[in-house]
Amino acid sequence: MNIITVKDYDTMSKMAAGIIAAQINTKPDTVLGLATGSSPLGTYRNLIEMNQNGLVDFSKVVTFNLDEYCGLSRENPQSYYYFMMENLFKHVNIPKENIHIPNGLAKDTDEECKNYELQIKKANGVDLQLLGIGFNGHIGFNEPDDVFHNFTRRVKLTQSTIEANKRFFESADDVPRYAISMGIKTIMSARKIILVAGPEKREIIDKLREEVCTPQVPASILHYHPDCTVFWAEKE
Ligand code: F6R
């Protein structure tokens, strides 16, 4: 794992967008794994600008998002589907049928998770996975635990994640308690990974620098990925 300290969030976002655009320009039918949250927002803004200026074409790109809250519909402004539409998809020329986000309203969650894995497999796996990181070291919604969980499944959110994400809801009580998340093995199977983190993530990034791999810090598994770069922005 390569940890690169970047001077600020804008620079980090430009670098991440540049890597994603280069990947798409090299392989137009790239399969992207995508994250929501405040960390990748700047990256998405840059990709939108590049797409609108004709510098990157999303017409053949296929995407799989990391996760979705259980119990929220796609129309719910707090759902990750809504977030992705507002902050990336509706501004670029990606065909709607190429977008994959777990269905938080699926009647049979296990079936939905199995199906999601199958769809990723059918797409021949993820070429480039973009990640954020939780204060507790989660990636996707793979929370600290005694073991690493391999595949896409329903997860119970930790109190720390509920607290961190309540800023998007009216209160902590409104934050869903469960989500569907890609597993650690799903994430690790991506051929290339980039993780973006703002200055507020200093403590957890320092933890990653210790190079200890433990399921109590799920992102620490990335030390074993052959092509993973972490961008940490020192300032806003
Ligand atoms: C979101 C996701 C999460 C976030 C993490 C950081 O799809 O998978 O792991 O990346 O919670 O969130 P922000 O970027 O909002 O600090």
Tens digits of residue pLDDT in 70-116: 999 999 999 999 999 999 999 999 999 999 999 999 999 999 999 99
Q: Which atom of ligand 1 is nearest to the CA of 140?
A: 8
Q: Which atom of ligand 1 is nearest to the CA of 37?
A: 15
Closest residue by Cα to atom 4, ligand 1, is 132
Q: Which amino acid is at 141?
A: F
Position 31 scores a pLDDT of: 99
| CATH code, 2-235 | 3.40.50.1360
Position 115 scores a pLDDT of: 98
Closest residue by Cα to atom 3, ligand 1, is 140
Position 223 scores a pLDDT of: 98
Position 214 scores a pLDDT of: 98
- What are the DSSP calls for 20-48, one per residue? HHHHHHH-TT-EEEE--SSTTHHHHHHHH
State the distance from the centre of ligand 1 to the C-alpha of 134, rounded, in angstroms: 6
Tens digits of residue pLDDT in 107-161: 999 999 999 999 999 999 999 999 999 999 999 999 999 999 999 999 999 999 9
Tens digits of residue pLDDT in 182-221: 999 999 999 999 999 999 999 999 999 999 999 999 999 9
Position 191 scores a pLDDT of: 98
Residues with a known catalytic role? 67, 136, 138, 143
Structural domain spans, the chain: 2-235
Q: How far is it, in rounded angstroms, from Cα 185 to Cα 152? A: 9
